Amino acid sequence: MQENNDFKAFKEAKSWFFKPDASVVFKETSNLRLSDEFKETFPVLTSIVQKARTTSLEIDEVEYLLFAWNNKDNLVCGWLNKVEKSENISNELIPEHELMLCNIGGIQESFNQPEVWLGNNQDFMFIGSACFKGIGGWDEYYSMLCEEGGFEQIDYSGFLTFVEEANGGMTMYDINTKKVVIFSHDHCFTNVDFMEKQPEYTFHTIHAVETFTDYVEEVAVQWKAQLTGRDLVK
């Protein structure tokens, strides 16, 4: 198979993603099969994924799925999703997270994305092998602010980061309750609030998002809003 227009659009938007000698191999793409459990758990995500043009490929021997649509400006937009083997994924992911990865993988890159969405400036979203527990080296910062302000520290040992920003901000869920919070010392989000009884610029809650499933569906809602009717209505 040869590269298609969707891949050309991704490559143009994310030229830095490719090494000068990058190896790109296109594979036969069969119809994407989503499990019934996935469809029931993530109905909004299902509605856009089922309308996507899907390209299966390997970049430097790493397997990806390219999901592409046309936005309201008729620009090709989409996600490059990394597809991983189960043995390379953390065994501490909650079932809903595993369900997502088994069906569509995790988002490595997005292009021509909505101007404002939960994935702005993110290094990765949902990728199983990139997830980690804790607050990524901000322990002393958090401890210091709690001590200075007289706040009781949260036990974040069971928090697993599934999204990481380029500036170090992290979106994470509690593996026991599945509730989602953001830990960030500096962010540009307008849809978050400082967590009550915690220092500012540490833990935040997200408007209309309580659990991991809520978060995934909100991402889908934000993308769906920018897509053309042609891609969403038959």
Same domain, 18 and 120: yes
Q: Would you say residue 217 lies in a domain?
A: no
Same domain, 143 and 72: no
Same domain, 87 and 194: no
Please tell me what DSSP assigns to residue 5: H
Whole-number mean pLDDT of the chain? 92
Q: Would you say residue 152 lies in a domain?
A: yes
Q: Would you say residue 221 lies in a domain?
A: no
- Pick from 127, 150, 180: which residue ends a domain? 127
Of 81-90, 184-193, 199-208, the one with minimum mean pLDDT is 184-193
Same domain, 72 and 183: no
Of 81-85, 120-124, 158-162, 217-221, the one with minimum mean pLDDT is 120-124
Q: Would you say residue 48 lies in a domain?
A: yes
Domain that holds residue 64: 5-127
Same domain, 49 and 110: yes
B/e letters for 192-209, b = 16+ CB within 10 Å, e = fewer, are beebeebbebbbbbbeeb
Binned at pLDDT 50, 70 and 90, residue 233 comes out as very low
Same domain, 118 and 13: yes
Same domain, 79 and 145: no
List the beta bridge partners of residue 204. 182, 194
Cα–Cα distance for residue pair 123/120, rounded to 1 Å: 9
Across residues 6-33, what is the average pLDDT? 91
Cα–Cα distance for residue pair 173/132, rounded to 1 Å: 11
Cα–Cα distance for residue pair 134/159, rounded to 1 Å: 6
Q: Would you say residue 123 lies in a domain?
A: yes
Please tell me what DSSP assigns to residue 153: P
Count CA within 13 A, CB hemisphere, residue 77.
Answer: 20
More confident residue, 14 or 116: 14
SS3 122: strand
Total count of domains within the chain: 2
Same domain, 110 and 182: no
SS3 156: coil
Across residues 51-67, what is the average pLDDT? 96
Same domain, 182 and 203: yes
Binned at pLDDT 50, 70 and 90, residue 31 comes out as confident
List the beta bridge partners of residue 71. 227
Binned at pLDDT 50, 70 and 90, residue 234 comes out as very low
170 in Cβ contact with 163 (< 8 Å): yes
Flag whether pLDDT at 231 surpasses 70. Answer: no
Same domain, 120 and 154: no
pLDDT given for residue 91 in this prediction: 85
Across residues 61-70, what is the average pLDDT? 96
Across residues 210-215, what is the average pLDDT? 98
79 in Cβ contact with 216 (< 8 Å): no
State both tokens at 80: 């490059």
Flag whether pLDDT at 146 surpasses 60. Answer: yes
Q: At what angle do helices 212-224 and 95-104 cross, to 10 degrees?
A: 40
In 3D, which of 123, 126, 64, 67 has the Cα closest to residue 98?
A: 126
Where residue 96 falls (left for φ over 0; alpha for ψ -120 to 50; beta otherwise) is alpha
Flag whether pLDDT at 186 surpasses 90. Answer: no
Across residues 30-44, what is the average pLDDT? 95
Same domain, 16 and 106: yes
